[in-house]
A and B are shown apart, each in its own frame.
Chain A
Amino acid sequence: MKTFLNSLLLLTFLIPAVFFGQTQVSGTVTDEANALPLPGVNIVIKGTTTGASTDFDGNYTLTVSDGDVVVFSYVGYTTKEVTYTGQSPFNVTLAEDASQLDEVVLIGYGTTTKKDATGSIEAVTSEDFTRGNIVTPENLLQGRVAGVSVTTSGAPGSGSEIKIRGGSSINASNNPLIVIDGLPITNDNVGGSRGILASINPNDIDSFTILKDASATAIYGSRASNGVIIIVTKKGKSEFSADYDLQYTFGENANQIDVFSADAFADLVNSQNLPPSFISQLGDANTNWQDEIFRTTVSSLHNVTLRGALFDVVPARFSFGVTDQEGALITSEFERRNLSLALNPTLFDNHLKINVNTNLSFEDNRFADTGQIGAALGYDPTQPVYDPDSPFGGFYEHRNGDVLLLGGNNPVASLLQTNNIGDSQRFFGNLNFDYKFHFLPDMKFVLNLGYDQTEGFVTNNSVFATNDDVSANKSVSFQNRTNQSLDGFLNYKKTFGDIGTDFTAGYSYQKFTNDGYFTGNQFDPISVGDTFADPDIVLIGFFGRANFTFFDKYLMTATYRRDGTSRFSEENRWGDFYAGALAWQISDEDFLKDSKTISNLKLRVGYGITGQQEIPALDLFLNRYRSGNENSQYQFGNAIVQSLIPSEINPDLKWEETATIEVGIDYGLFNDRVTGSLNVFQKDSEDLLFDAPVPDGSNFSNRVLQNIGNLRIQGIEFTTNVDVISKEDLSLNFNFNATFLDREITELAFGQDVTTGGIAGGTGNFIQLFREGEAPNSFYVFKQLQDAQGNYIEGAYADLNGDNIINDEDRYLKADPDADVILGFQSNLEYKNFDFSFNLRANIGNYVYNNVNSSRAQYDLLQSNSVLGNIPTSVLDTNFQTTSDVIISDVYVENASFLRMDNITLGYTFKELSKVIKSVRLWGGVQNVFVITEYSGLDPEVFNGIDNTIYPRPRNILLGANIKF
């Protein structure tokens, strides 16, 4: 109403103008597809500098003369030219640009259009998000982008490992840098929370932009070697809208490790000639311990988002979400409440844009000890879960009267009696100022202030079965992490004739802190508490970029960044990272301009150097001593002496640098019905940071972080998006991506092998190796010998060097855990109001060391200290007796290539239900639909290639509704 009166008033004042042949005209610009008004549309009278722009209701006023050609342009929409011939009101509709070339993409510290992008960048927006059980943001990305692999564990709300192009490092983190609304976040977690991205509501995310190659990431310098993922949260809009999403999930474990049932177990025990003190322990119950500790789960998710103009002036978005997820392991729970508010006012006639984002997240967790999964695998199946005569809470325990026998506690009891509650709060937000200078509108200044704080408590209130006097635990641990950042940069963008220029220069500062305390078990008189405080991590960078566009076809970018980190000594802490890229928009050349087949063809070449310093050690270069706590003291005479031990040190630690060269082609065929890209790249990492062994006695531990060598990764990435059918009623589209990766260690210090890969069942043993010329983390094993019938001969290995002694020199490298080929396929079908989608993923050539079998499937383990223990039935395949004889055998390194369907969804949308409810979409789906693999373990997707009873991934059935008001 007010707006209308205002417009009327304005019109009245402008009536005199009419008499000079110029008319003050007004109108509304709307979206052709849905008649929604478009704010911020650029309007210019062609050939002049007279212009205007629409307000947030899509309205504008302009002084025009008859015959003027008025140009309406808006990002993402086809520019329209309309001649003024007296239309009143002068309303215009704009159609969305089918070509995505004008789509704005984010690059480090700025934006560009997809057309002008010179690096390898892929944006995934909320329309493309993988549908299914989306609890954490990473779920949104799974299988969508070539070169990006997302591996999640099964624990509810769990964190996951994201790798872009296989990472570039072997020990320093392989995690990409994640930037949320301009704030780079730490990858470290806080006790009480389940993962750094777990506290973000996926509904709040508008897009992910993945920067893959060095020319795109170099501007982030120090942390960019593994790629960058820029997350942008949804902004406020002034048009009012409300969304309510709800979702229910029913899950159950799809698979279990096979161990002996009670009868088979009793037979086995009797056949193995165990001493009577063991055989007499056989019970007469029939318990499947894995069934006892796992359950089917019911989880729910509710989310409300409101968008509108606050006080009619400030576009805002407010969202509130509640997630409640049960874990498959009994007692495991995850609950998260998110509140987020975004305000996006603009002031001074669009010269100053302010974005305020605030997010609050509350996580309540009950953590269940995943170690009990291993305990359940090994527990005697002939014993019952409950025992009314038991002095240990009514649960069965291995005991002799009141005395517990040595040999593991009842896993159900352990889970039910443990109350480990995590409570964490996270606030993160940023304040972003984007000021276009009044006196020089081509130049703008952007200031971004970000703050992220997580506080977590873990309270433990448990009892446990023990012979000790202390049988309860009450302890609290607390952790506080903060992350503060400040970015400021100047940006100057101007087109001089056919040459477009874009310069950016800026500064970035970031500081991380971490500290906390632990009270110790308050029921145990000898338990002591402790506090800890990490040294601060400070990162400072100076950066600059220059972009040139010639004739809209030839593009050139150069970036430079100088980064300093507090992790290295003064001599080594600064690094220079520069990059350059060239691109040629071939499809704009005359010979292709009018092609019907090729609608877009762009050739890109880029080279860049990025750095990596994300290692767990924060002050390794400093000469430090550590004092023993109250339980670790020494005595001189009658007095306790607080002893001091020097900590391991490496003063020479420095930046790991990765040089990437990439050639890519972005293509679009048949009017962009088919789009995609093909990238070929090579990354060379130097001075790899790794925790490598040092000679005993040469330092204060036997492994120290060092710069040890070079790694080369070569790869080809191919993506294609095909809109097979694109009609009013029916559309079918699919996305296929493939990545081929080859990783090789090109150099190691002194050419010396570096051992890695610790395993369960053999402390101090290693199963993987870094060797020059080989893939990193290759499995280093003995070659198993077989007899004439093909049975394995226990402990007999091939004498590969022929010296008649079987020792480490007879070990060989068999395969490595990284896949050679990663494939993703996604399909979306929409027919009338139905929508259907599914997603497939495959890894080929990845191997896994089955540590579950290698450390558990041996007959000796039927005796677990003083009691009977169960073992996997896979022991019947090998008939192995003793773990230490066989743990390094190559029979346990298996091919774990797999094809997996992550999710499949079917939905139906009711449109235009009523004035209030705009649409309701009901949908159902299945997550973790199937896995096809030859691997004998639970799941072929294993974090680092060593499979040791991972938390099983449940199969989930989901039902949900999205209601739009």
Chain B
Amino acid sequence: MKRKIKNISVLSLLMVFTFISCTDDLNITPNDNQTVLSEELFENESAYERVIAGVYSNLALTGTDGPGTSNIEGIDAGTSQFGRVLLYMQTLSADQMIWSYENDPGTREIQRNIWTAQNPLILGMFSRTHLTIALANNFLRETTADKLDSRGVSENIRQDIVEYRAEARLLRALSYYYMMDLFGKANFSTEATPLNETLPVYDRAQLFEFVESELLEIESDLVDSGANQYGRADKGVAYMVLAKIYLNAEVYLGQGQGQYDKCLTYCQKLLDANYMLATEYRHNFLADNNMNSATNEIIFPIISDGFSTQNFGPTTVMINGSVGSIEANGVEVGVTEGGWGGALRVRREFAELWQGGDFIDDDRNTIISNDRSIVITDISDSDTGYIIQKYANVTSNGTPGTDQTLVDTDFPLFRLADVYLMYAEAVLRQEGMANSTAVDLINALRTRANNPNLISSNELTLPFILDERSRELHWEAHRRQDLIRFGLYTGGNYNWAWKGNGSNGIAIPANLNVYPIPSLSISSNPNLTQNPGY
């Protein structure tokens, strides 16, 4: 009996030991070749370049596995690409653009200014921009001096990391700038904020202060204007954002709080840098705008490539969309013959900017009118209204891009021509009248566009600047911001076709100067309150 008990005990102990040793198997690691553990990743010094590239890529891509994937749950790739939603919110919501397929979720409400907090495009903008902030914070957390010491990172990589860190902070400030402009508030977090916490909310004044102080602090660490690798940001971008916030300070901080002098300072810094206007206007909007003369003018692009950086972003939308339903001019612009069947057209008020004889010869005028009516009475009738042919997926020598739908054309988020116009406007607002530099700058743009009609000093007024900005910078995600600054977006002082859901445009209430915070975002952060009137 004793022996039997002994046998049993030995057997059980043996089993127990064998089985306990298997508990190590519970420590699993990722098996997929695209996924890597953080600890392993940073053992290799090349990781830092790739992680900062990941922060940048959130402006161009929506996910890691192709243009249709989205790393933000519940929002599809089509309604959350950063440049695209920015374009919708700044340009589609104003007088320059109209979208024919109003069954596409969210577009009808944006273009008729009747949006609500359930709008998926507004949600895409809010979520996508905050993701850039989260990615930037993550990079900063992983590159503190302590972390780099503990990993024994070599000196020359550390030099690079100084630049990378400044760029991460720049992209974060850029994101807060857009939140300040579009929503007037944001969930605020820095690298010191732990993950998954309920975040405090910053209003416009606080965001302004933060963006300004960040950009001033990082200035010295950034690469010189125009000197950085293609795809990376530099001092030029910082100066641009500063110029923008100072120019719009009255909108963000209140009437009388304008800082046009500071705007001029930073415009000047940009004018003094190495930037130059592209030799031809259209170079900025072609498939090779990362290699042709536009590289001198574009201060910061949102990258796109038909093979390696696939996205349904702003240039994909505009090139495929502006192909006319009657004209079927898709091949000319490097996409399929029919494109998207006439999805994008221009509103009457924009088309009228080109009338009057001064613009018959102007490269910026790409209007195709043929037999079309300038008036759009039924938005779904894509045969009505004029179309334009600004962007194209062909190179400067006419070679089509890599793919017939996903374009190679980068989106020029910031370019030098905008600086010229900002300078002129700041001068007018600051001094009350134009100076010779301002006039020269405007005329330089006209000359570049091969328009022989130059302006004189007394023609340079604020209303003129607003119109000239539209002629130069249309379809580049600036219009709404400009109209708000001029007090013409809300209210009834300037009505455009389909504004406020009226076919000739009607006045819209002032609370529409900021977008509503999306329902989903409010429900996930109890500190967020809805904007007034929504």
A530 CB contacts on chain B under 8 angstroms: 34, 65
**Complex formed: what's the CA distance from A100 to B101 in Å?**
68
**Complex formed: what's the CA distance from A490 to B438 in Å?**
92
Whether B226 sits at the interface, judged by CB under 8 Å, is no
Q: Mark A554-585, 1 if CB is under 8 A from B, else 0.
A: 00000000001110001001000000000000
Q: Mark A628-644, 1 if CB is under 8 A from B, else 0.
A: 11111111111011111
Q: Mark A321-352, 1 if CB is under 8 A from B, else 0.
A: 00000000000000000000000000000000
CB distance from A425 to the nearest CB of B (A): 22
Whether A158 sits at the interface, judged by CB under 8 Å, is no
Whether B181 sits at the interface, judged by CB under 8 Å, is no
Q: Mark B61-75, 1 if CB is under 8 A from A, else 0.
A: 101111101011111
**Pairs A-B, 10 closest by C-beta atoms:** A275-B381, A693-B524, A697-B130, A696-B130, A623-B38, A695-B525, A533-B31, A764-B120, A637-B229, A406-B341
Q: Is the CB of A526 within 8 A of B193?
A: no
25 pairs of residues in contact across A and B, judged by CB atoms under 8 Å = A406-B340, A467-B337, A509-B22, A531-B33, A535-B31, A564-B26, A566-B26, A622-B30, A623-B39, A627-B50, A628-B64, A628-B65, A631-B309, A632-B61, A644-B50, A695-B527, A696-B127, A758-B74, A763-B106, A764-B118, A808-B522, A866-B342, A866-B382, A883-B103, A884-B105
Whether B53 sits at the interface, judged by CB under 8 Å, is yes
Q: Is the CB of A697 within 8 A of B199?
A: yes
CB distance from B512 to the nearest CB of A (A): 13
B66 CB contacts on chain A under 8 angstroms: 528, 629, 631-632
**Complex formed: what's the CA distance from A528 to B66 in Å?**
9
Q: Is the CB of A700 within 8 A of B134?
A: yes
> Main SS of the interface on chain B?
loop
Q: Is the CB of A807 within 8 A of B33?
A: no
> Could you say which of B60, B199, B306, B343 contacts A698, with CB atoms under 8 Å apart?
B199
**Chain A positions 240-287 with a Cβ under 8 Å from a chain B Cβ:** 274-278
**Chain A positions 696-755 with a Cβ under 8 Å from a chain B Cβ:** 696-704, 706, 750, 752-755
Q: Which of B397-405, B446-454, B486-494 contacts A (4 or more CB under 8 A)?
A: B397-405
> Could you say which of B76, B336, B522 contacts A468, with CB atoms under 8 Å apart?
B336
Q: Which of B267-275, B355-363, B414-422, B513-521 contacts A (4 or more CB under 8 A)?
A: B513-521
**Complex formed: what's the CA distance from A637 to B51 in Å?**
16
B464 CB contacts on chain A under 8 angstroms: none
Q: Contacts A509-B22, A693-B523 known; A636 to B230 CB distance under 8 Å?
A: yes
Q: Is the CB of B71 within 8 A of A634?
A: no
> Could you say which of B49, B123, B310, B528 contacts A636, with CB atoms under 8 Å apart?
B49
Whether B25 sits at the interface, judged by CB under 8 Å, is yes
Q: Contacts A467-B338, A624-B37, A695-B198 known; A635 to B130 CB distance under 8 Å?
A: no
> Could you say which of B34, B100, B405, B524 contacts A694, with CB atoms under 8 Å apart?
B524
Whether B209 sits at the interface, judged by CB under 8 Å, is no
> Could you say which of B4, B38, B57, B72 contacts A632, with CB atoms under 8 Å apart?
B57
Question: Which has the most chain B C-beta neighbours within 10 Å: A439, A632, A761?
Answer: A632
Q: Is the CB of B520 within 8 A of A755?
A: yes
Whether B196 sits at the interface, judged by CB under 8 Å, is yes
> Could you say which of A400, A622, A699 contacts B134, with CB atoms under 8 Å apart?
A699
B156 CB contacts on chain A under 8 angstroms: none
Whether A865 sits at the interface, judged by CB under 8 Å, is yes
CB distance from A480 to the nearest CB of B (A): 12
Whether A618 sits at the interface, judged by CB under 8 Å, is yes
B51 CB contacts on chain A under 8 angstroms: 625, 643-644, 646
**Complex formed: what's the CA distance from A530 to B54 in Å?**
20
> Could you say which of B72, B118, B405, B534 contacts A805, with CB atoms under 8 Å apart?
B534
B378 CB contacts on chain A under 8 angstroms: 274-275
B74 CB contacts on chain A under 8 angstroms: 702-703, 758, 763-764, 766
Whether A96 sits at the interface, judged by CB under 8 Å, is no
B47 CB contacts on chain A under 8 angstroms: 644
Q: Is the CB of B381 within 8 A of A765?
A: no
**Complex formed: what's the CA distance from A439 to B50 in Å?**
66
Whether B109 sits at the interface, judged by CB under 8 Å, is yes
Q: Is the CB of B64 within 8 A of A632?
A: yes
**Chain A positions 624-668 with a Cβ under 8 Å from a chain B Cβ:** 624-638, 640-647, 649-650
**Complex formed: what's the CA distance from A540 to B18 in Å?**
13
**Complex formed: what's the CA distance from A703 to B534 in Å?**
24
B60 CB contacts on chain A under 8 angstroms: 634
CB distance from B526 to the nearest CB of A (A): 6
Residue of B nearest to A864 (CB): B103
**Complex formed: what's the CA distance from A698 to B187 in Å?**
9
Q: Is the CB of B524 within 8 A of A277?
A: no
**Complex formed: what's the CA distance from A717 to B326 in Å?**
67
Whether B308 sits at the interface, judged by CB under 8 Å, is yes
Question: Which has the most chain A C-beta neighbours within 10 Å: B67, B384, B525, B526?
Answer: B525
Q: Mark A751-783, 1 if CB is under 8 A from B, else 0.
A: 011110010011111100000000000000000
Whether A312 sits at the interface, judged by CB under 8 Å, is no
CB distance from B331 to the nearest CB of A (A): 11
Q: Mark B451-481, 1 if CB is under 8 A from A, else 0.
A: 0000000000000000000000000000000
Give the number of residue pairs across the A-B interface with Cβ within 8 Å.
360
- Besides the contacts A635-B308, A884-B106, what 14 more A-B pairs have beta carbons closer than 8 Å? A403-B338, A440-B4, A536-B31, A627-B64, A634-B231, A634-B303, A636-B232, A641-B50, A695-B525, A702-B127, A750-B198, A764-B79, A865-B341, A884-B105
Residue of A nearest to B139 (CB): A646
Q: Contacts A488-B15, A697-B189, A764-B520 known; A865 to B101 CB distance under 8 Å?
A: yes
Q: Mark A809-849, 1 if CB is under 8 A from B, else 0.
A: 00000000000000000000000000000000000000000
Residue of A nearest to B138 (CB): A646
Q: Mark B1-45, 1 if CB is under 8 A from A, else 0.
A: 000100110001001100100110111111111111111010000
Whether B58 sits at the interface, judged by CB under 8 Å, is yes
Q: Contacts A884-B105, A884-B108 known; A278 to B380 CB distance under 8 Å?
A: yes
**Complex formed: what's the CA distance from A439 to B6 in Å?**
12
**Complex formed: what's the CA distance from A628 to B62 in Å?**
10
Residue of A nearest to B58 (CB): A645
**Complex formed: what's the CA distance from A743 to B254 in Å?**
52
B36 CB contacts on chain A under 8 angstroms: 624-627, 644
Whether A507 sits at the interface, judged by CB under 8 Å, is yes
Q: Is the CB of A628 within 8 A of B519?
A: no
**Complex formed: what's the CA distance from A765 to B325 in Å?**
32
> Could you say which of B54, B310, B524 contacts A645, with CB atoms under 8 Å apart?
B54
Whether B192 sits at the interface, judged by CB under 8 Å, is no
CB distance from B189 to the nearest CB of A (A): 5
**Chain A positions 612-628 with a Cβ under 8 Å from a chain B Cβ:** 618-619, 622-628
CB distance from B83 to the nearest CB of A (A): 14
Q: Mark A531-555, 1 if CB is under 8 A from B, else 0.
A: 1111111101010000000000000
Q: Contacts A624-B37, A697-B189 known; A405 to B307 CB distance under 8 Å?
A: no
A542 CB contacts on chain B under 8 angstroms: 19
CB distance from A594 to the nearest CB of B (A): 43
Q: Is the CB of A626 within 8 A of B64?
A: yes
> Could you say which of B118, B306, B328, B381 contacts A526, with CB atoms under 8 Å apart?
B306
Q: Mark B411-446, 1 if CB is under 8 A from A, else 0.
A: 000000000000000000000000000000000000
Whether B117 sits at the interface, judged by CB under 8 Å, is yes
Q: Is the CB of A700 within 8 A of B138?
A: yes
A647 CB contacts on chain B under 8 angstroms: 35
CB distance from A810 to the nearest CB of B (A): 12
Q: Mark A869-901, 1 if CB is under 8 A from B, else 0.
A: 000000000000011100010000000000000
**Chain A positions 391-424 with a Cβ under 8 Å from a chain B Cβ:** 400, 402-407
**Chain B positions 61-112 with a Cβ under 8 Å from a chain A Cβ:** 61, 63-67, 69, 71-76, 79, 100-103, 105-106, 108-109
Q: Contacts A277-B381, A631-B308 known; A764 to B124 CB distance under 8 Å?
A: yes
Q: Is the CB of B199 within 8 A of A633?
A: no
Whether B383 sits at the interface, judged by CB under 8 Å, is yes
**Complex formed: what's the CA distance from A406 to B135 in Å?**
37
**Complex formed: what's the CA distance from A515 to B306 in Å?**
29
Whether A590 sits at the interface, judged by CB under 8 Å, is no
